[in-house]
Structure 1
Amino acid sequence: MPKCFLIAIPVHRARAAIGAMTNSAGTSTSRYFFWFGIAMCLLLAAFTWQRNPTKLRSVFQRHQDRKTGSHSPLTSAGDTHATVTLPTACAPAGNISSPSPVRDGIGVPSITERTAFGNYSQSLSGVNGSDKLLKYTCRFTEDHSWPHTPGNPGELAIVSLLSASVPSLLLDYILGLEVLGTSLDRFAPKSVPRVLMVLEGTDCDELCMRRLHDTGWRICHAPPIKPPRPSDFARFKDQFVKLLMWNMVQYKRVVYMDADTLAVGRLERLLATPVSMASNKPLAVAQDIFNGKWVDGFNMGVAVIPTNRTEFVRLFNLLESDSVEYESTMSEQGFLSVIYKNVWTKLAFEDNANLAAWLWDKSLWQSKKSDIRLVHFTMEKGWKIDSKSKYAEIGRLWKETRDVLCARRLKSADACDLARATGCLS
């Protein structure tokens, strides 16, 4: 409401001047000016609300979140989504320099750091004669150690994946990871590091690296794991690289999230899911829904994995020998559904709210929506959903998170090239 001061200040001065020149008549006239100013302020507020209710509503929502410490975005009322005009410190496109932004005091790595992998192979010798698997480890590009924080010394990491199975979709998935990272800033503990596996051969240039680093991802290069029978679905051809997560023994367990997921509630419960090879809980995942029916298998879009080098070697050898009959179209999901049949732990629907359920099991979605913590945009990606989509109500959450990212980047001239790459500027 700052614009009201443009009215209130001159009204106040006019009132004082009139009061000084007259007595009773001046008092009556000054009261008229005073109430006229109040009326104009109210009209201005109404006009602002009519033009941009989403922006004002978001202010009230943030205030309520601070009071309650909670967030229930799936039950909030309001328009599907309205484009918000954000203030910007960015100059026209031709005047942008390329400084190195800083996130949480960590500078973005130089090109030298990005290409110097260091001595990073983990020794697999002595584990089922696995010397040949030395190369199958994710090598960091930013420094020569896996990211840890004082509050999380090797206990846990959040992991995601970027690949170029379909090169035309690469920019979409980079944006998806930026928005996912922004949502994790709000709903995941700061003590949990985020590791992004970038498949070798993926065209992630320096700007791409900066965009991902700016949203909390620490990048490692992942060698491909090629199955004897690759999926005939282009986007799934490289998904067996996920097996590398079993070899991330720098952590006791990792929580995997696809690039098309979005955190909308606190994730402490998901991150604390108990898994271990010793207790016969080798994997925690959510039940999958396919063609309108809940199936016996699971969805690998969100997974809690106990790292174990011996198990990694076992999985690799089973795949390489092609000794497991599985649905190859579904790639690693079909393979692991056979390997861990009847022994996987079922995650709550709220921890992998598959958009397919919105379409095929609406009653379940409605009964759980106030508790949903992680949305999985399987049927239509968040960056593709518009106001005409059948998923518009859910897509609004993704676009609001992108607005948060844009607002942060537009505040600083140092991040203008990032803002432009994210689509925050036309």
Structure 2
Amino acid sequence: MMKRNPQVTQPLHPDVVLIHCHDLGRWLNIYGMTHVPSPNIARFAERSVVFENAHSAAPLCSPARGALFTGMSPYVNGIQGLSHNAWRYRENVLTAPERLRPYGYHSALIGLQHENVDPTVLGFDECPGQGFLPRVNQVVEATEDWLAHLAPAERRDPLFLTVGTWEVHRPWPHEDYSPADPDQVDVPDFLPDNAGTRSDIADFYGAIAQFDDGFGRLMAALDATLDPANTMVILTTDHGAAFPGGKSTLRDSGTGVTLIVRPPVSWGVDPHRVSTVVSHMDLVPTLIELAGGAAPAELEGVSLLPVLRGQSEGDPGRLVYSAKDYHDTYDPKRAVRSASYAYIRNYEPGPNLQLAIDLEKSKTRQMMGDRHLEPRPREELYDRGLDPAEKDNRAEDPAYAHIKDEYAAALHSWLIRIGDPIETAPTPPAPQRSRAVDPLPAVVRSSTP
């Protein structure tokens, strides 16, 4: 149960609730996919700031979440692959709850996390369920119960609550999720429109519908317990949807994420949409400024608080960066993007799409042919204005040579700035964990019988 501070007579800062799910990308009706069954999220968006061009720092689970919760890119924070493959934070890296603690925030994690095999090392004051309640209905029930025991705002510290769900990760079995009508789904431009893809998307919609239903219940519980006038609610996901050409790529379909923020109602901010490019790494700087502090220099994101207060539309010329190293194979690549262009550098030969095992087994893969197995280019450049699906690589087009040079130089400068050696040396696998890591103290035996 949350620690109460009897000296607190009113919240010093707004409560913050961060809700995050798996593998959603921007597959919502509010992002133009009109058939997606997400009415509760749509109602939430009507009262919120919707970021149309938000990106994760990585296209796979643990690295994306590591960057989200630290404000640092995967190489800097240390999580360059999946946590269950031994990747973990570097020494002295601070997470969002640890950054907020000096400002009086009490933190809790309910449901899923994917940054460490042990959720209790992530800096939260509480981990009800120990991070092992992943499914949305379980998570909502656990959150409702936790909120029912929460002290009134005037008798507690401000709250940073993180709520994570397994959905909408593959698989999407029919015994768990009711599929949609395959004839009534949206097929994005980066996927082939055929029976296999439509059946796959119909199953995906079933998982989204269940997540959306749970989200509606969760918001009802939050608004009944936490004062909307003094509560910020954030909804996001880790990376793009789990389809070939989406998750695990550095294209828009792989790093583009849902990001919807409902500011405290007392701020009087009109709901609006933001088209400028932003990064998951902006979350921690935003929360620090919300708490009254200044983001330290080692953080790579920028505060979005002026945008959330309606004081700014963001930087129209901003560049954001993303990276991939290890998923279930080694597939090193880095990217820089703006609202206008996306530049990707591949550091190892391989197929054009390196599919993770869940994508390789998908219905979409079974009917998409083998063109994705053709050799990948060293460089990729996409003109977002002409080619928002990022299908037409302009890296060898002389008309784009100056753009490619500009973005390649920006990417190189970023790698130098963060110390990432990928241009000259491959990324080694994570040091394997053993019983010599984080051991319990040895037993001290008495010398007397």
TM-score above 0.5, yes or no: no
What band does the TM-score fall into relative to the shorter chain? under 0.3
Identify, as 1 or 2, the structure richer in helix: 1
For normalisation by structure 1, the TM-score amounts to 0.24
Larger radius of gyration: 1
